[in-house]
Amino acid sequence: MQQNPRGKPKQTPGRNLLDRLRTHQDGVLAFALDAGVPFTNNQAERDLRPAKVKLKVSGGFRTVEGAYVYARLQAIISTLRKQGEGVFARLRELFSPLAATMA
């Protein structure tokens, strides 16, 4: 004798997708309606990639301070790229007062 299953019957993957699209209707096509919204949300992964590649190639950083300096520079470079500014010119501009005080 077969028993009746408890609860709701299992939904199909297509039905689950339809429900999610309805629930998140405002955000689904936000990238198409607003130029400031990226198509994907993996910018954080792209920002971490250079540090991960450096770790793989060199095996790590020699000091913790060196890792902090590298992380700060990567953050500055990433921000400049996102803002559409020239990275080299802005870095030179940022470090020129520092170079003048060290000389």
Tokens of 94: 């940022």
Of the pLDDT bands very low, low, confident and very high (cuts 50, 70, 90), residue 101 is low
**Model pLDDT, residue 1:** 52
pTM confidence score:
0.50
**Model pLDDT, residue 12:** 94
**Model pLDDT, residue 17:** 94
pLDDT tens digit sequence for 3-60: 667 888 899 999 999 999 999 888 888 888 888 877 777 877 888 788 888 877 887 7
C-beta of residue 18 within 8 angstroms of C-beta of residue 25? no
Best CA proximity match to 75, nearest among 43, 101, 39: 43
**Model pLDDT, residue 62:** 83
How many other C-beta atoms lie within 10 A of the C-beta of residue 64? 8
